[in-house]
Structure 1
Amino acid sequence: MKMIIAILNSDDASTVIHNLMKEGYQITKLSTTGGFLRAGNVTVLIGVEDDKLEHCLEIIGKYSKSRKQLIPSSAEAGISFYPSMPVEVVVGGATIFVLDVEQFKKV
């Protein structure tokens, strides 16, 4: 058995979760915040049997696409502040960890 920990962009999360549940996967959803952009994320925990791992990862990959977005940045030099210039960053997609599960119990 495997435990998938998938960190999803908030914009993608509902579609990913809907499609995982449609395929019969049971998930636990956690609201989280990213460190770099301090943007809202959703972390999902999914326990899957080894033979279903690739299928589950395909669903996550299909519905969590990365895209470019402009965000404001601010520069500071000494005591003066300069107007913020937008910076293009990649958002979305998924960060996925797959862990071996030694034991699983549902009580």
Structure 2
Amino acid sequence: MKLVISIVQDEDAHKLMDKLMKNKFGVTKLASTGGFLRSGNTTLIIGVENERVDEVIELIDSIAKTRTQIATTPPLTTWSQGVYMPYPVEVEVGGATIFVVDVEKFEKV
């Protein structure tokens, strides 16, 4: 068994969860915040049998698409580190960050 942890943009989360559940995958949703833009993300935790990992990744890829966004204010960390960036700036957001880890033991109680 594997644990798939996927971090997606909030606007992709509900559609992705619906698609995962329609394909008989159990999914747990956690609210999270991105580092660079401090924008809302969703972390999805999906327990899956080894042979279905690629199927989950394909479903995530079909929904979580990258897009461009205009950032009008710098993240707080740039000021404290002495980094200068002209604003507004166009940045790429969206897509998904996916981790697949082995599950030693799984129990549902």
TM-score over 0.5 (shorter chain): yes
Q: What TM-score does the superposition give when structure 2 sets the normalisation length?
A: 0.87
Alignment partner of 1:96: what SS? strand
Distance in 2, matches of 1:73 and 1:38, equals 11
1:41 maps to which residue? 41
Displacement after TM superposition at 1:31 (Å): 0.6
CA radius of gyration, larger in: 1
Q: Name the aligned partner's letter for residue 12 of structure 1.
A: D
Distance in 2, matches of 1:15 and 1:86, equals 30
User: Which runs of 5 or more residues in structure 1 are unaligned?
Assistant: 77-83
- Residue by residue over 1:14-62, the C-alpha shift from the partner in whole angstroms, topping out at 9 and shown as x without a partner, is 1111100110100010011111110000001000000111001100010
% identical equivalent positions: 48
Q: Is the counterpart of residue 18 in structure 1 residue 8 in structure 2?
A: no
1:53 maps to which residue? 53
Distance in 1, matches of 2:39 and 2:51, equals 34
Displacement after TM superposition at 1:73 (Å): 3.4
1:81 maps to which residue? none
The number of equivalent residue pairs is: 100
Distance in 2, matches of 1:53 and 1:21, equals 15
Q: Name the aligned partner's letter for residue 33 of structure 1.
A: T
User: Which runs of 5 or more residues in structure 2 are unaligned?
Assistant: 80-85
1:94 maps to which residue? 96
Q: Which has the higher helix share?
A: 2
Alignment partner of 2:72: what SS? strand
RMSD of the TM alignment (CA)?
1.5
Distance in 2, matches of 1:37 and 1:53, equals 30
Q: Name the aligned partner's letter for residue 13 of structure 1.
A: A
Displacement after TM superposition at 1:85 (Å): 2.5
Alignment partner of 1:31: what SS? strand
